[in-house]
């Protein structure tokens, strides 16, 4: 079965604007002609598609929310979410590369960088001349990210970073890294998040040691690598944001990133839905298409409805972010719904395809494997529940 490219417009209830068409049109052509044909092979080889990523830079997709003054496309968040959904529907690995590069490393510099840092790092990130990696998670601290042990010691005109990070997307192929490290102990009365700082680290900095890329369940052509910092020297001017207060920026970066991960789940689920729908109409058992059985068609109904509901949440969170209004809860809801609906759609698709669903050629197993990450990365389902409950209950306190 050939890789499908479901139409985004079919899934939307509004017409794309002229600006959205201007970026999505060439992107879709590129996805159809250059990305789709090799997606399965890349899943098998795990080779990072550097040439494709560079071409995405030319299409304006690697600096989606970078201001035009620094060479970016300065897109609104809804357009970014639609682009991420579209890429996910074709190649989950490439989608994670794009989503993480834009939202995490690049997004952090856009959010917290000073003028000199923005001029120094954003143009190369926006064109994909350099890929961005963002190091928060450590072997001993994931959901409880403030429990990090990596330290940056102040030596006057520079800091010396020692410690390690794990599961870093673009960890091997990155050219610019944003690394979180503790510079100070928490001040009395403050939470464990106090005292954490962010640094921009060039990929060729001595002491930045890349480990062996991880072997993963899915997203094989996305690079996930542990990092070790062996007395990594970083000039003081590379401190990103306010010393000791980076965790607030981390939370804001993750809020934005979660909109993208929700969109990624929807894109993967949408591809699975389309494959399952076509299959259910073609496959005959007991003398009629299997789609004629409610046990099958109701799954299609559920997939279509849940994905649609998730897209509404993604676009709501995007609208709130662009309006400058609080969007933490909406982003957590969008991420939770998008990822759960995406994984469930992929699982239903495997079921609808029966034995064929379990066979690589039919693609839905790859979609499921790729989608599964969306329930873990940038905060697990459980952490999204914690955030949603905290934000909701806040109204009554």
Report the residue from 112, 314, 383, 387 that binds ligand FAD according to the rule CB under 6 A. Answer: 383
The size of the chain, in residues, is: 397
Indicate the residue among 249 and 378 with the shorter CB distance to ligand FAD: 378
Whether 378 sits among the annotated catalytic residues: the reply is yes
Q: Does the footprint of ligand FAD cover residue 114 (CB under 6 A)?
A: no
CA 287 to chain centre: 44
Residue among 79 and 164 whose Cβ is closer to ligand FAD: 164
- Choice from 93, 172, 224, 384 touching ligand FAD (CB under 6 A): 224
- 3-state SS assignment for residue 303: helix
Judged by beta carbon, residue 76 or residue 381, the one nearer ligand FAD is 381
Site for ligand FAD in 317-376 (CB under 6 A): 373, 376
Q: State which residue has the least CB distance to ligand FAD.
A: 142
SS3 228: strand
Stretch that binds ligand FAD, among 16-24, 29-37, 128-136, 305-313 (CB under 6 A): 128-136
Q: Which is nearer to ligand FAD, 252 or 296 (CB)?
A: 252
Which member of 115, 378, 382, 391 is catalytic?
378
The partner residues of 138 in beta bridges, in order of sequence, read 141
Nearer to ligand FAD (CB atom), residue 363 or residue 378: 378
Q: What CA–CA distance (Å, rounded) separates 227 from 375?
A: 23
State yes or no: residue 143 binds ligand FAD (CB under 6 A).
yes
Quote the DSSP letter at residue 31. Answer: I
Span interacting with ligand FAD, options 69-77, 136-144, 231-239, 324-332, rule CB under 6 A: 136-144
Interaction between residue 48 and ligand FAD (CB under 6 A): no
Residues in Cβ contact with 168 at an 8 Å cutoff, skipping those fewer than 6 apart: 133, 134, 135, 137, 174, 224, 225, 226, 227
Q: Where are the alpha helices (DSSP H) in the chain?
A: 8-11, 18-30, 39-45, 50-58, 77-88, 92-100, 107-112, 115-126, 246-282, 294-322, 328-353, 364-372, 381-394
Residue from the set 72, 92, 132, 135 that interacts with ligand FAD by CB under 6 A? 135
Q: What is the Cα–Cα distance from 83 to 97, expressed in whole angstroms?
A: 13
List the one residue from 203, 289, 380, 391 that touches ligand FAD (CB under 6 A).
Answer: 380
Looking at residue 70, the DSSP 8-state letter turns out to be G
Is the Cβ of residue 53 or residue 315 nearer to ligand FAD in the bound state?
Answer: 53
Residues in 166-195 at the binding interface with ligand FAD, rule: CB under 6 A = 167-169
Q: Does 127 bind ligand FAD (CB under 6 A)?
A: no
Of residues 20, 77, 79, 100, which one binds ligand FAD by CB under 6 A? 100
Looking up tokens 């928490």, which residue turns up?
186
Cα 174 from Cα 165, distance rounded (Å): 14
Residues in the interface with ligand FAD (CB under 6 A) total 23
* 65, 74 Cβ separation under 8 angstroms: yes
Beta pairing partners, 115: none
CA 45, 46, 50, 52 torsion: positive or negative?
positive
Which residues contact ligand FAD by CB under 6 A? 100, 104, 134-137, 142-143, 167-169, 216, 219, 224, 373, 376-380, 382-383, 386
Residues taking part in catalysis: 378
């Amino acid at each position: 079965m050939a890789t499908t490219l479901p139409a985004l417009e079919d899934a939307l209830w509004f017409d794309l604007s002229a600006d959205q068409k201007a970026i999505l049109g060439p992107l879709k052509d590129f996805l159809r002609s250059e990305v789709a044909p090799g997606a399965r092979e890349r899943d098998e080889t795990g080779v990072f598609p550097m040439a494709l990523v560079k071409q995405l830079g030319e299409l304006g997709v690697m600096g989606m929310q970078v201001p035009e003054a620094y060479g970016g496309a300065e897109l609104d968040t809804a357009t970014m979410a639609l682009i991420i959904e579209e890429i996910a529907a074709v190649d989950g690995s490439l989608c994670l590369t794009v989503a993480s590069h834009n939202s995490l490393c690049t997004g952090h510099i856009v959010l917290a960088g000073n003028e000199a840092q923005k001029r120094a790092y954003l143009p190369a990130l926006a064109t994909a001349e350099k890929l961005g990696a963002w190091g928060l998670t450590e072997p001993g601290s994931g959901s409880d990210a403030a429990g990090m042990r990596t330290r940056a010691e102040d030596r006057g005109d520079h800091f010396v970073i020692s410690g390690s990070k794990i599961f870093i997307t673009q960890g091997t192929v990155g050219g610019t890294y944003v690394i979180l490290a503790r510079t100070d102990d928490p001040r009395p009365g403050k939470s464990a998040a106090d005292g954490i700082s962010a640094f921009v680290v060039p990929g060729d900095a001595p002491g930045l040691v890349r480990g062996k890329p991880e072997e993963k369940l899915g997203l094989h052509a996305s690079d996930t690598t542990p990092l070790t910092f062996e007395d990594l020297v970083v000039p003081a001017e590379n401190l990103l944001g306010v010393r000791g207060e980076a965790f607030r920026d981390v939370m804001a970066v993750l809020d934005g990133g979660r909109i993208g991960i929700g969109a990624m789940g929807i894109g993967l689920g949408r591809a699975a839905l389309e494959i399952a729908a076509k299959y259910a109409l073609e496959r005959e058992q007991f003398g009629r298409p299997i789609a004629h059985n409610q046990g099958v068609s109701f799954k299609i109904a559920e997939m279509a409805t849940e994905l649609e509901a998730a897209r509404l949440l993604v676009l709501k969170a995007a609208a709130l972010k662009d309006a400058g209004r609080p969007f933490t809860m909406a982003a957590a809801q969008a991420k939770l719904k998008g990822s759960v609906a995406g994984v469930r759609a992929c699982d239903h698709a495997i079921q609808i395809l029966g034995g064929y669903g379990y066979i690589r050629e039919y693609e839905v197993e790859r979609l499921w494997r790729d989608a599964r990450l969306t329930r873990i990365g940038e905060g697990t389902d459980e952490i999204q529940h914690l955030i949603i409950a905290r934000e909701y209950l806040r109204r009554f306190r």
